[in-house]
Amino acid sequence: MPLMKLCSYRGCTKIIQDGVKYCDYHRKKFDISEKERYKVYSKKRMQDAEQKKYQSFYNSDDWKRIRDAIIANCFSIDIIEFFRTGNLVPGFTVHHIIPIEDDWNSRFDTENLIYISESNHQRIHVEYLKGQREKEQMQKILFDLKQKWNDAFVI
């Protein structure tokens, strides 16, 4: 029998499976509010010229082709998790090791791109925000992992 818990929505008394955050009713309500929140966020970002440039890049066909090639090159798995734990975890995003804000010219450089899961992506950005030294250490680790992957699996 699976573990059960209460819906996480404040005041809701519906019993749901453990590992699920909301009951069906509140999940739909939450999804609608998240979509609306993202629309406001996106609209605000598009008012900034620099952010508009970045968003245009990420919506371009050239980026989509490069991104798809990186994903295929990594067999759609998270490279960090593969070398860290040996597990085959599906990736979520193609990450620029050196952010495009720091070096616009390396945005299509395949050696600067690594496919990772959302949780590892968040960990990387936490390290990037700690300071320049930590950011450079994390970038070195990512470049080393990328090279290790290329040496082992890329022909």
Q: Quickly list DSSP for 64-133.
A: HHHHHHHHHHTTTB-HHHHHHH----B--EEEESS-TTT-GGGTT-GGGEEEE-HHHHHHHHHHHHH-HH
Domain tally for the chain? 1
Structure confidence at residue 138 (pLDDT): 95
Residue 87 belongs to a domain:
yes
Residue 26 belongs to a domain:
no
Residue 29 belongs to a domain:
no
| Cα 15 from Cα 4, distance rounded (Å) | 6
Structure confidence at residue 72 (pLDDT): 93
pLDDT digits (tens), the chain, 155 positions? 678 999 999 999 999 998 899 999 999 999 999 999 988 888 887 787 888 888 889 999 999 999 999 999 999 999 999 999 999 999 999 999 999 999 999 999 999 999 999 999 999 999 999 999 999 999 999 999 999 999 998 76
Residue 6 belongs to a domain:
no
In terms of residue numbers, what domain contains 73? Answer: 49-153
Residue 36 belongs to a domain:
no
Residue 146 CB coordination number (10 Å): 21
Residue 8 belongs to a domain:
no
Structure confidence at residue 83 (pLDDT): 93
Residue 112 belongs to a domain:
yes
Residue 22 belongs to a domain:
no
Element (H, E) at 17: strand 15-17
